[in-house]
Amino acid sequence: MKRPNHSTRNEPSLGQQYPLDLLGVGLFLVVTALALLLEAGSVPRVVTSVIAICFLPGYVTTAALFPLCDREELFRRGIEGPRISLRERGALSIGLSVALVPIIALTIGRVTTGFSTRGTFLMIAGYTAVVGVLATYRRLRLPEAERLYVPVGAWGSELVDGVTTGSRISRVLTVALVCSVVLAGGTFAFAAATPVDGETYTDFHLLTDDEDGDYVSAGYPEELERDEPVELAWGIESYEAETTEYTVVTMIERVSEDDGQLTRIETAEVDRTTTTVAPGEQEIVDQEVASPLVGENLRVSYYLYRGDATGTPSEDTAYRHLHIWVDVNGGS
């Protein structure tokens, strides 16, 4: 059978000369990043997250695997190569995204200490960008007339045909499949953009600076001199649903023990610091601690509050409480 004469075809369109769809993917990632700056649960943030999670990773993967134009166009031009229809390309984009996102999530768990909105987006955006560059490279290596481009009208027709033609059972199943995938992806995206209250928390820890200049949760001082400062540090790592203001109050406490119960009999506040930490971020604050009290088994306590610390700090009112025990010399 004689192959059609390519010279009779129209000149390649702008979409065939340049990968406008992949450029659009990059621009959409920027829009999603800006939407993440909005309040958790806001409509723009959730909608962009749904698309970024449920479509973009699979779309760039499909574009990298199948850089040629759609099946009907290939057949008309007599071009050999992997052939999929526009409808199949859309289904693959969603299906591959649903399959890839759990793998990306497992990767996040391996390379970070926990999940966060920013970390999740960065991993998905990183994968999408890298594979998108690969898809662009493969497409630009093809002759312009053979490259995939975005025929919006044809894609719209494919979508309409999928739900309006064929048997009633086929149409119902198609609609049900699309709705279930969108619902599942939307639930996942909403969970990623708006963490459940029961899963939010703040990691509060005491630190010291080791000989290599790194912060470690060890090497705390055991003995101090009265009014002579020592270098300590504390850190906050937020896994809350939104940017949170914290107050940390540092106190020196003399306590007594009665039947296993500790009672404070003398206290001295030595520092009070307020800081703001975004979800998934960490803040480390260096401080000098000097004790005005003298004695054995004094407690250096750190009380963490979300918001302002009102009244006298205590374990009952603080969000988090940490302490170390020291002996303070120098009393008269």
Collapsed DSSP state (helix, strand, coil) of residue 209: strand
Q: Residue holding tokens 């199949």?
A: 88
Collapsed DSSP state (helix, strand, coil) of residue 70: coil
Nearest to 238 by CA among 207, 281, 195: 281
- Amino acid (1-letter code) at residue 70: D
Handedness of CA 99, 103, 104, 108 (dihedral sign): positive
Measured over all CA atoms, what is the biggest interatomic distance in the chain, rounded to whole angstroms? 108
Nearest to 323 by CA among 253, 223, 273, 263: 253
Q: Strand runs (DSSP E) across the chain, as ranges?
A: 202-209, 215-216, 223-225, 230-238, 244-258, 261-277, 282-289, 295-306, 320-329
Cβ atoms of 58 and 45 closer than 8 Å: no
Q: Strand runs (DSSP E) across 156-211, as ranges?
A: 202-209
- DSSP, res 40: T
Query: What is the edge-to-edge ordering of all strands in the sheet holding 244-258?
Result: 223-225, 320-329, 295-306, 244-258, 261-277
> What's the CA gap between 17 and 174, in Å, rounded?
33
Tokens of 205: 């820890």
Collapsed DSSP state (helix, strand, coil) of residue 115: coil
Distance of CA 158 to the CA centre of its chain: 34
> What's the CA gap between 277 and 106, in Å, rounded?
25
pLDDT at 300: 95
> What's the CA gap between 131 and 147, in Å, rounded?
17
pLDDT at 291: 93
Going from the N-terminus, what domains does the chain have, and what CATH number goes with each?
Answer: 10-194 (no CATH), 202-329 (2.60.40.10)
C-alpha distance from residue 225 to each of 6, 300, 323, 324 (Å): 89, 14, 18, 16
Which residues on adjacent β-strands are paired with residue 271?
Answer: 250
Q: 10 Å Cβ neighbour count for 282?
A: 13
Tokens of 245: 């203001």
pLDDT at 230: 92
C-alpha distance from residue 27 to each of 30, 35, 48 (Å): 5, 12, 12
Collapsed DSSP state (helix, strand, coil) of residue 42: coil
Cβ atoms of 60 and 25 closer than 8 Å: yes
Q: Rounded to two decimals, what is the model's pTM?
A: 0.49
> What's the CA gap between 97 and 75, in Å, rounded?
28
pLDDT at 289: 92
Cβ atoms of 127 and 104 closer than 8 Å: yes
Digit-by-digit pLDDT tens for the chain (332 residues) are 444 444 444 555 555 567 888 888 999 999 988 888 876 667 788 788 888 888 899 999 988 888 877 655 555 555 555 567 766 777 788 888 888 888 887 776 666 555 566 777 888 889 999 999 999 898 888 887 777 766 655 555 666 666 677 677 767 776 776 676 667 666 655 655 555 444 578 899 999 887 777 888 888 999 999 999 999 999 998 888 788 999 999 999 999 988 778 889 999 999 999 999 988 788 999 999 999 999 999 999 999 999 998 888 999 899 999 999 999 997 55
pLDDT at 4: 44
Q: 10 Å Cβ neighbour count for 35?
A: 19
Nearest to 94 by CA among 65, 122, 56, 134: 56
